[in-house]
Copies of this chain bind each other. A is one copy, B any other.
Amino acid sequence: MSTSEKRQSTSGKRMSQSGIEPKMETMKLTEEQAASSNNTPAESAKPTEKPKKQDKERKDQKSTAKSSQQQSKKKAEEPALIGITCSKSEDLSEWYQQVILKGEMLEFTDIPGCYIYQPASYRIWEFIQSFFNDRIRKMKVKNCYFPLFITEANLQREKDHIEGFAAEVAWVTEGGKNKLEKRLAVRPTSETAMYSFYSKKIRSHRDLPLKMNQWNNVVRWEFKHPMPFLRSREFLWQEGHTAHMTEEEAGKEVLEILDHYAAIYEDLLAVPVVKGKKTIAEQFPGAHYTTTLEGFIPSVGRGIQAATSHCLGQHFAKMFDITVEDPNQQVKDGQARDKLHVWQNSWGFTTRSIGVMVLIHGDDKGLIIPPRVAEVQVVIVPVGVTAKMADADKQKLYDEVDKLRQTLEDVDIRVECDYREGYNVGYKFNDWEMKGVPLRLEFGPKDAAKGIVTTSRRDQSGSKGEIPVSDIGSEVPKLLEEIQKSMYQKASDEYAAHRKIVRDWADFVPTLNDKNVILVPHCTTEDCEDQIKKDSTGNVEGQEVDVRAPSMGAKSLCIPAEQPEEIKEGTKCVNPKCGKEAVKWVMFGRSY
Chain A residues with CB under 8 Å of chain B are 37-39, 41-42, 44, 46-52, 54, 56-57, 64, 73, 107, 109-111, 114-119, 122-123, 125-126, 140, 142-149, 151, 153-154, 166-178, 183-184, 186, 193, 196-197, 199-201, 203-204, 206-209, 212, 216-217, 219, 221-222, 234, 236, 320-321, 325, 327, 331, 420
Distance between Cα atoms of A109 and B172 in the complex (Å): 17
CB-CB nearest in chain B for A194: B116
Let me know if A118 and B143 touch, CB within 8 A: no
Distance between Cα atoms of A343 and B107 in the complex (Å): 23
Let me know if A176 and B172 touch, CB within 8 A: no
Let me know if A41 and B196 touch, CB within 8 A: yes
- Residue in B37, B49, B107, B144 whose beta carbon sits within 8 Å of that of A117 in the complex: B144
Known contacts A109-B147, A109-B193: A52-B321 contact under CB 8 Å: no
Q: What B residues does A123 contact at CB under 8 A?
A: 142-143
Distance between Cα atoms of A21 and B110 in the complex (Å): 44
Distance between Cα atoms of A217 and B44 in the complex (Å): 31
Let me know if A41 and B321 touch, CB within 8 A: yes
Let me know if A42 and B217 touch, CB within 8 A: no
Let me know if B41 and A148 touch, CB within 8 A: no
30 A–B contact pairs at CB < 8 A?
A41-B321, A42-B320, A49-B203, A50-B203, A51-B204, A52-B206, A57-B206, A109-B147, A109-B197, A110-B153, A111-B151, A114-B148, A117-B144, A119-B142, A122-B143, A125-B145, A148-B186, A148-B219, A148-B234, A149-B219, A166-B177, A167-B177, A168-B176, A170-B172, A170-B174, A171-B172, A173-B174, A174-B183, A176-B221, A176-B222
Let me know if B171 and A173 touch, CB within 8 A: yes
User: In the complex, how many angstroms separate the beta carbon of A551 from the nearest chain B beta carbon?
Assistant: 27
Let me know if B48 and A175 touch, CB within 8 A: no
Distance between Cα atoms of A197 and B46 in the complex (Å): 12
Let me know if B183 and A176 touch, CB within 8 A: no
Q: What B residues does A170 contact at CB under 8 A?
A: 172, 174-175, 184
Distance between Cα atoms of A91 and B193 in the complex (Å): 31
Let me know if A39 and B154 touch, CB within 8 A: yes
User: In the complex, how many angstroms separate the beta carbon of A341 from the nearest chain B beta carbon?
Assistant: 13
User: In the complex, how many angstroms separate the beta carbon of A42 from the nearest chain B beta carbon?
Assistant: 4
Q: What B residues does A49 contact at CB under 8 A?
A: 203-204, 206, 325
User: In the complex, how many angstroms separate the beta carbon of A384 from the nearest chain B beta carbon?
Assistant: 22
Let me know if A56 and B209 touch, CB within 8 A: yes
Known contacts A49-B325, A177-B167, A222-B178: A153-B39 contact under CB 8 Å: yes
Distance between Cα atoms of A327 and B142 in the complex (Å): 51
Distance between Cα atoms of A275 and B167 in the complex (Å): 50
Distance between Cα atoms of A116 and B145 in the complex (Å): 6
CB-CB nearest in chain B for A153: B39
Q: What B residues does A126 contact at CB under 8 A?
A: 143
User: In the complex, how many angstroms separate the beta carbon of A457 from the nearest chain B beta carbon?
Assistant: 25
Distance between Cα atoms of A203 and B50 in the complex (Å): 6
Known contacts A110-B151, A171-B174, A176-B169: A48-B203 contact under CB 8 Å: yes
Distance between Cα atoms of A52 and B119 in the complex (Å): 41
Q: What B residues does A219 contact at CB under 8 A?
A: 148-149
Distance between Cα atoms of A52 and B202 in the complex (Å): 9
